Amino acid sequence: MDSFIIRGPSRLEGSVRISGAKNAMLPLMAATILTGGQCILDNVPDLRDTRTMMKVLETLGIPSSLEDGVLSIDAASVTSFEAPYDLVRTMRASIYVLGPLLARFGKARVSMPGGCAWGPRPIDQHLKGMMTLGAKIRIDHGYIDAQADRLKGAEVILTMPSVGATVNIMLAASLADGETVLENAAREPEISALAGALRSAGVEIEGDGTSTIHIQGRDSIEPFRHAVIPDRIEAGTYAAAALITGGDVTLENCRPDQMHSVIDKLEACGAEVTVTDDTMRVVGPKKIAPVDIDTGYYPSFPTDMQAQMMAVLCIADGASTIVEHVYPDRFTHVPELRRFGAKITLDGHVAVVSGVKKLEGAPVMATDIRASSALLLAAMVAEGETKVLRIYHIERGYEDIENKLRALGADITRVTD
């Protein structure tokens, strides 16, 4: 297993190109199942999760190849309708194949994802959506066994604006008979990105980006070619890296218009942020000001940036409060950050971070994608050497992170234990 060794403190300076968004790409990969043809995705990041989704498609009989950011997927024929436990347990978003398989073939068998490091993470809203569109669902030996004749458009009201459930229902509704109205839908940019791809494939969709999405189902869907939007979480992570190291970093190929809540907090911490349509320059302050953060659904502050901002606030000039509203248990990075000397108290879903003058390098363990990037941020300002174990979590969501950080001036090397 590989680890990263980081020697700090360092100051990041220069430009970094932001990759395509993992969370926009995975729904697009699943959407190809609807088409029965050859689809192409551009600006695809080569991530562990990309490779996992390619394997999921391959087990269904759908070959794909990725070269230089171009992913070709040939969904002409499907030979299996099952997403197995071994793949789903490594990547929950494998459940995105449920909606399209059910809509196109009337059957799907997908392993239940189970809990994760941040708590139970139920999928009841996905299942409710499929059932409202007419599917019969049975849980069988840890698998979701779904059957349907032609799905029928319907009104689906989500209990909470789940990104995953919105994706799965949009995919299923695209091949359903008639109109689906999805209420309390997720408003994340990744949902609008999926809607854009489906529209280019001939599906009539309105209201994406708002809480009510209308989808007119079709009898068939054209193969499509679509570019993946830039990753706003990867961008936010490099912005946080500039902030924590008091650096000067320009993010290229990003979408500042999709990052308002993060930019607000960077500025509240004292960073100077300058944006164009597709770049963002972040200059870190000498002293980081404490800020309070409440995570929430888009356009609120993303839970996927909570761990990185916590790392930043560990060296702020005062105390900050972070309230995690989306995943109340998403704090596996807290004990690891404490190993650097951070002062954090945790009470339920509320963390209070009291800034300390300096952090010290330590051996730490990555626990999930964003928690791991928070550890890298802390390591870059900590004095001395840090070893980050289990970096496969980072590789799930950050393309080429060690080279990108090294090019900005970080002292980071990969070692194989």
Q: Which of 39, 116, 254, 269 is catalytic?
A: 116
Q: Site for ligand UD1 (CB under 6 A): which residue of 115, 136, 142, 160?
A: 160
94 binds ligand UD1 (CB under 6 A): no
Helix (H) or strand (E) holding 238: helix 232-244
Q: Please report, for residues 241, 260, 342, 392, 395, the alpha-carbon distance to residue 322 in angstroms, rounded to integers and kept in the order given.
A: 19, 18, 14, 27, 26
Q: How many CB atoms lie within 10 A of CB 276?
A: 11
Is the CB of 122 or the CB of 142 nearer to ligand UD1?
122
Min dist CB 102 to ligand UD1, Å, is 16
Helix (H) or strand (E) holding 308: helix 306-313
Query: For helices 232-244 and 306-313, what crossing angle results, to 10°?
Result: 0
How far is residue 217's CA from residue 70's CA, in Å, rounded to a whole number? 28
Is 39 known to be catalytic?
A: no
The residue type at 26: L
Is the CB of 73 or the CB of 369 nearer to ligand UD1?
369
122 binds ligand UD1 (CB under 6 A): yes
How far is residue 134's CA from residue 168's CA, in Å, rounded to a whole number? 14
On whether the CB atoms of residues 50 and 399 are closer than 8 A, the answer is: no
121 binds ligand UD1 (CB under 6 A): yes
Q: Site for ligand UD1 (CB under 6 A): which residue of 34, 148, 163, 263?
A: 163
226 binds ligand UD1 (CB under 6 A): no
Beta-bridge mates of residue 248: 13, 283
Min dist CB 355 to ligand UD1, Å, is 26
Min dist CB 15 to ligand UD1, Å, is 26
How far is residue 185's CA from residue 332's CA, in Å, rounded to a whole number? 28
Handedness of CA 361, 366, 367, 371 (dihedral sign): positive
Q: Site for ligand UD1 (CB under 6 A): which residue of 12, 26, 215, 314?
A: 26
234 binds ligand UD1 (CB under 6 A): no
Q: Which stretch binds ligand UD1 (CB under 6 A): 12-20, 115-123, 130-138, 312-320?
A: 115-123
304 binds ligand UD1 (CB under 6 A): yes
The residue type at 358: K
* Chain residues in the site for ligand UD1 (CB under 6 A): 23, 26, 92-93, 121-126, 160, 162-165, 186, 303-304, 326-327
Active-site residue numbers?
A: 116
